[in-house]
Structure 1
Amino acid sequence: MKTQWKELSQVRRCMIVAAGALQMTLQAAALRDIARRSPAQVNGSKAGWVAASFINFAGPLAYFAKGRKK
């Protein structure tokens, strides 16, 4: 049986909302950075990194770690 939102504790609800906000902030930052860089400043395809940014936390973090050229 799945736990419903109303059955979660206040702390658990806050943690879920904070994780969602962090995910959205990371994705927005990655998408903004991708849009502002030229293709020569990005390792690989910009379209590929845009798609990868939609993979929860892993996509944006991977972009910031490996997707940008120094």
Structure 2
Amino acid sequence: MAKNLKWRDLGTGGRILVALTAILQFGLLGAAWADLARRRPAEVNGPRWAWALAALVNFAGPIAYFARGRRR
């Protein structure tokens, strides 16, 4: 079984990787929510509240919204 690492157990490279991943995740979430807030309901495939909740699912939610949630 894998050992659970603590923040203090990570080296500098590991800490940077975790921080960059978190920044990317929250950036995608913020971009998806901002885009969703600016669009009219007719410009979104499906209910807006459902896409807002789906965007909370790690990287997959915001990427799915940008790929399938918006109408052209």
On whether the aligned pair clears a TM of 0.5, the verdict is: yes
Query: Identity percentage over the alignment?
Result: 43
| Cα offset, 1:4, TM superposition | 1.1
Which residue of 2 is the match for residue 43 of structure 1? 45
Q: How far is the alpha carbon of 1:25 from its aligned partner?
A: 0.4
Measured in 1, the distance between the counterparts of 2:63 and 2:40 equals: 19
Matched, 1:58 2:54: no
Q: Distance in 1 between matches of 2:22 and 2:4?
A: 20
Which segments of 5 or more consecutive residues in structure 1 lack a partner in the other structure?
none
> Where in structure 1 do 4 or more consecutive aligned residues deviate above 3 Å?
none
Please tell me the root mean square deviation across aligned C-alpha atoms, in Å: 0.7
Cα distance in 1, alignment partners of residues 70 and 4 from structure 2: 40
Alignment of structure 1 residues 1-70 onto 2, 5 Å: 1-70=3-72
Give the structure-2-normalised TM-score: 0.94
Structure 2 distance, partners of 1:66, 1:38, is 16
Q: How many residues align?
A: 70
Hey, what's the Cα distance between the residues in 1 that align with 2:41 and 2:17?
Answer: 37
